[in-house]
Amino acid sequence: GESVGLHLPTLSVQEGDNSIINCAYSNSASDYFIWYKQESGKGPQFIIDIRSNMDKRQGQRVTVLLNKTVKHLSLQIAATQPGDSAVYFCAEGYNFNKFYFGSGTKLNVKP
Amino acid sequence: KAGVTQTPRYLIKTRGQQVTLSCSPISGHRSVSWYQQTPGQGLQFLFEYFSETQRNKGNFPGRFSGRQFSNSRSEMNVSTLELGDSALYLCASSLGFGLQSTEAFFGQGTRLTVV
């Protein structure tokens, strides 16, 4: 499959545990944030988004938390499964323009 | 419903050559964005087209260009290839302008290797 990052930080979790992936963003004016999942050999896949007027948003098994004070975003995955193994990227954007992506975190789920 | 289709999947070119990559968005989607993905730099925004017009541009040299046709299909071109242009080139399609919410879908990418 495609290599999306040879030197990415890696998070290893046991199947069934909860995972927390963190992201620091750079632009205090960013008003929209997205988390993407990228599996080997595939393009990024949308997971969940959040606007800057919110600090928490929940999806199916995933929760995104936004802390604008410290410009920090996190993705929480509940009951992590082997199929969750992938590289996770956060993206920040301002006024829906010119989205910038973080370098990514590799999630490794151990059975 | 067919997804975003990028062709070719793999490409090998020589330094100095030029290359054209193609992206067919999901039917009905009018916005196409292009990204370069490398291990060292991650995902970097190249440009976005909407209704045949370039709406946004990232910080890439003029050797990188693109266009969009009336059927929303998009092509990107890289001229005078350099070794550093080796990367996975991804396109994303969405209904509207900008990378918005669940409307954005990525293709599998074109792996370009410059030798």
Q: Does A88 touch chain B (CB under 8 A)?
A: no
Q: Pick from B93, B74, B57, B77: which is nearest to B11 by CA?
A: B77
| 3-class DSSP state of B85 | helix
Q: Which residues contact A84 (CB under 8 A, 6 or more apart)?
A: A19, A37, A77, A107, A109
pLDDT 10s digits, A45-55:
989 999 999 99
Mean per-residue pLDDT of chain A: 88
pLDDT of residue A56 exceeding 90, the answer is yes
pLDDT of residue A11 exceeding 90, the answer is yes
pLDDT of residue A68 exceeding 80, the answer is yes
Cβ atoms of A39 and B105 within 8 Å: the answer is no
Question: Tokens 């910038």 map to which residue?
Answer: A100
pLDDT of residue B80 exceeding 90, the answer is yes
pLDDT band at residue A93, thresholds of 50, 70 and 90? confident
Cβ atoms of A8 and A63 within 8 Å: the answer is no
| 3-class DSSP state of B38 | strand
Q: How far apart are the first and last CA of chain B?
A: 37
Mean predicted confidence (pLDDT) in B89-101? 76
Q: Residue B58: which of A7, A98, A104 has the nearest Cβ?
A: A98
Q: Pick from A92, A99, A27, A42: which is nearest to A64 by CA?
A: A92
* Contact (CB<8Å) B42/A102: yes
pLDDT band at residue B98, thresholds of 50, 70 and 90? low
* Contact (CB<8Å) B90/A99: no
Question: What pLDDT is stored for residue B88 in this prediction?
Answer: 95
pLDDT of residue A5 exceeding 70, the answer is no
Question: What pLDDT is stored for residue A4 in this prediction?
Answer: 38
The fraction of chain A above a pLDDT of 90, given in percent, is 64
B63-82 residues touching A, CB cutoff 8 A: none
Cα–Cα dist B98/B49, whole Å: 9
Question: What pLDDT is stored for residue A27 in this prediction?
Answer: 87
Cβ count near A97 (within 10 Å):
14
Mean per-residue pLDDT of chain B: 91
pLDDT of residue B49 exceeding 50, the answer is yes
Q: Does B32 touch chain A (CB under 8 A)?
A: no
